Amino acid sequence: MHANHSFTRRTALALALAALLALPLAGCFGLGGSGSSGGQGVRREPVQSQEIQFTRPVEGDTIAVIETSLGTIRAVLFPDKAPQACDNFIGLAQGGYYNGLSFTRVESGFIVEAGQNAQGTATTIWNGSGYPAEVTDALHHYSGALCAAMGEDGLAKSVFYFMQTLPGSVDEELMNQMAAQGFRQEVMDAYAAAGGAPYLDYTDTVFGQVYEGMEVVDAIAAVELDETGRPVEAVTIQSVAIGTYTAPVQ
């Protein structure tokens, strides 16, 4: 199981875009903290954007707290935008499926991926039946996005990945492709600020966004890899807890 990368990173953006509008919420959202430096010395500044992925979670939002051997990643989930992906991830997490699994694919400057079991297979809460991509103009493959990987059959299961793309990774060529395909200016501006992989939009499902711990994602991306792209020293998921966001006391 893996993200569907049958295209190169410089191919034209696939599929016609949906004509949906994102919720008009203003935000200033840092990936892992204001001006934080990740495991590769990555400098990630707060992103000024109206896109919901860059709006700080509010009281009661569904969140996932992912404890790894390199630190804690906190992500807000979007069950109203990607209900099947969230139901599957939440159900598997609550059943303990992810506990003890390792990150099995790491591409520095692109993604870190987990969700395969020890046998190298994936599952779902629906007795292993996969589900199709859930696409929306409200969610995009910005850096820090939590996404469902698509299998060879075009269906998603338990495998997920975090976008670890770097600031500045969306270059002029990609911006021109996005403009030609009709991406909203707000989305293009967010990609320019945060980095990301717009060529995965409308093919894979985004169902969450890191709001704390992006430096841990960067640290995972910086580990030594073997010839298959797996960490030489396993990076494990100790637990995935699902809860609701509580605003810190000021």
Domain assignment of residue 25, yes or no: no
pLDDT of 247: 87
Going along 82-136, which residue ranges are E strands? Answer: 103-107, 111-114
Number of domains in the chain: 1
Domain assignment of residue 44, yes or no: no
pLDDT of 40: 59
pLDDT of 38: 52
Return d(Cα 107, Cα 86) in angstroms, integer: 24
Task: Decide: 63 and 75 in contact? Cβ < 8 Å.
Answer: yes
pLDDT of 250: 72
Residue carrying structure tokens 């190298």 = 120
Task: Decide: 220 and 235 in contact? Cβ < 8 Å.
Answer: yes
Copy the structure tokens of residue 40: 């590769």
The 10 Å CB-count burial string (b at 16+, else e) for 162-180 is bbbbbbebbeeebbebbee
Sequence-separated (6 or more) residues with CB below 8 Å from residue 100: 236, 237, 238
Sequence-separated (6 or more) residues with CB below 8 Å from residue 217: 32, 38, 39, 73, 112, 144, 162, 164, 210
Q: Which of 72, 123, 60 is nearest to 93 (CA)?
A: 123
Domain assignment of residue 114, yes or no: yes
List the CATH number of the domain containing 172.
2.40.100.10
pLDDT of 193: 96
Domain assignment of residue 139, yes or no: yes
Range of the domain at 78: 63-221+238-244
Domain assignment of residue 131, yes or no: yes
Task: Decide: 205 and 85 in contact? Cβ < 8 Å.
Answer: yes
The mean pLDDT values, 10 residues at a time, for the chain of 250 residues are 42 37 36 50 90 94 98 98 98 98 97 95 97 97 98 96 96 96 97 97 97 97 96 98 90
Residue carrying structure tokens 């711990």 = 213
pTM for the full model? 0.87
Return d(Cα 71, Cα 31) in angstroms, integer: 15
pLDDT of 17: 38
pLDDT of 31: 54
